[in-house]
Amino acid sequence: MTKAQSGFPRAGFFRRLAAMIYDLLVAVAVAMCAGLVFMLFMLLSFENGLIPKQGYEHFMDFFQQSLLYKTLAQLWVGAWVLGFFLWFWRNGGQTIGMRAWRLRLFSTTDRPMGYGRALLRVLCSLGGIGTLLVLLDIKHKQSLQDRLAKTEMLVLTKDANHHKAWKSIQD
């Protein structure tokens, strides 16, 4: 028996979309903070001679010409954004946007949500495009990532959305 059959309905497309937009704003903030930390570390390393200046006087000139450091910056920021989703899905089943819209991920199997399944969910979402399947799957309201990662996104009641209530609705 799924959680949807035991009291909570599966989330529709527009509620998911609203949570995704909210989470996009948070993910941008996470990315900006991660980028700031990376750039500050790189600037200090450059100015203190830990990174060879290679004839450049200013850090930004050096950075913009370096494919290696630009790639490292993108990987660093991407890892933090990915970590944001993985950590929240693994530890509580809700991102900040999902909490605001009273959505929560539940496992449809006996296995709890782990980092591997959360990563599978991110990859299968295809950047959010997998959620469009909810529009076509009117009866089951499952996205591509729900189906492949064996999860379901449920709409909680206001009372059930509080952390204190989670013990009674654990997956």
Structure tokens at 140: 């089951």
The pLDDT tens digits for 121-166 are 999 999 999 999 999 999 999 999 999 999 999 999 999 998 665 5
- Distance of CA 93 to CAs 84, 97, 113, Å? 12, 11, 8
The pLDDT tens digits for 20-75 are 999 999 999 999 999 999 999 999 999 999 999 899 999 999 999 999 999 999 99
Range of the domain at 32: 4-169
Q: Indicate if the pLDDT at residue 1 is higher than 50.
A: no
Structure tokens at 170: 């654990």
The pLDDT tens digits for 102-121 are 999 999 999 999 999 999 99
Q: Indicate if the pLDDT at residue 168 is higher than 60.
A: no
Confidence of residue 7 (pLDDT cuts 50, 70, 90): confident
What total of structural domains would you count in the chain?
Answer: 1
